[in-house]
Structure 1
């Protein structure tokens, strides 16, 4: 029987990896559809809102990585215990998205002078502010982002942290021991460890 879920994303970790982590954590079979970046322009118009990743199931096609991850998290028992915890999780996830939004403009900037200026501001000002706040949050929450326990906020961060480092050009997460510990905990989960051992090798 074919998997119920089909996840479509670039042949990258990026915003798709946390969703893959959640599927593997829950033992939910899914089809991992990967497209090459050079093929994206001709596919873009056929996708919801012109964005990846998206997920297909039950005749529906839904986009936005955080929304998909939130849905899968509910399936696998990693959502919050109540509305307040869900709010806290969403706040952390939105902050990870903010980090991406800080990095993407300089990473894809073609003018080298502008690129370096944007990158310097990001690495010296914006990223340290956001990452230090997240690091403190983990420290104060028993080694996790929310409620002193594993939630999908931890998976969302862990799935994207290598891309943060790639965009930075250095192991910037390694400067924040509590954040690094969160990623390490997720990576040590047997199902995630097994996936990492066999997943396609990509630069981000």
Structure 2
């Protein structure tokens, strides 16, 4: 259910992603961010996942251990913060902490570092 919600939210912000990938004008990208990405993220993902994190209370979406769904949700947050705006999660403190904690996981951090060390 949470994975499907992530997919729905990603589809909702898709017009903004396409605008950025196509390297449209800064104005068009900003318009898509402000009028599509931010409200859709808030309404299809942020509120829902913030409530789930509060309800679960463990810092994870389900149970008390990290799961694959946590990685999917954290990845979507990463897109919003690093491809969008660093303030994308400010309205959702539990989600922001969740995202930071997932990416601070030692095994994930080591894998990311290893991936970034490859040269082409």
Q: Do these two structures clear the TM 0.5 threshold for a shared fold by scoring above it?
A: yes
Aligned length: 111
Q: Compute the TM-score of the two structures, normalised by the length of structure 2.
A: 0.71
TM-superposed CA distance for 1:94, in Å, is: 1.6
The Cα offsets for residues 60-84 of structure 1, whole Å up to 9 and x where unpaired, read as xxxxxxxxxxxxxxxxxxxxxxxxx
Q: Any gaps of 5 or more consecutive residues in structure 1?
A: 1-90
Out of 148, 155, 176, which is 2:71 matched to? Answer: 155
Taking only aligned residues, the RMSD between alpha carbons, in angstroms, comes to: 2.6
Query: Larger % of strand: which?
Result: 1
Q: Compute the TM-score of the two structures, normalised by the length of structure 1.
A: 0.45
Residues 119 and 186 (structure 1 numbering): CA distance in 2 closer, same or farther, change over 3 Å? closer
Query: Larger % of helix: which?
Result: 2
Q: Any gaps of 5 or more consecutive residues in structure 2?
A: none
Pair 1:103-2:19 in alignment: no
Does the Cα contact within 8 Å between 1:131 and 1:176 map onto a contact in 2?
yes
Larger Rg, first or second structure (1 or 2): 1
TM-superposed CA distance for 1:146, in Å, is: 1.5
* Corresponding residue of 2:89: 173
Does the Cα contact within 8 Å between 2:15 and 2:36 map onto a contact in 1?
no
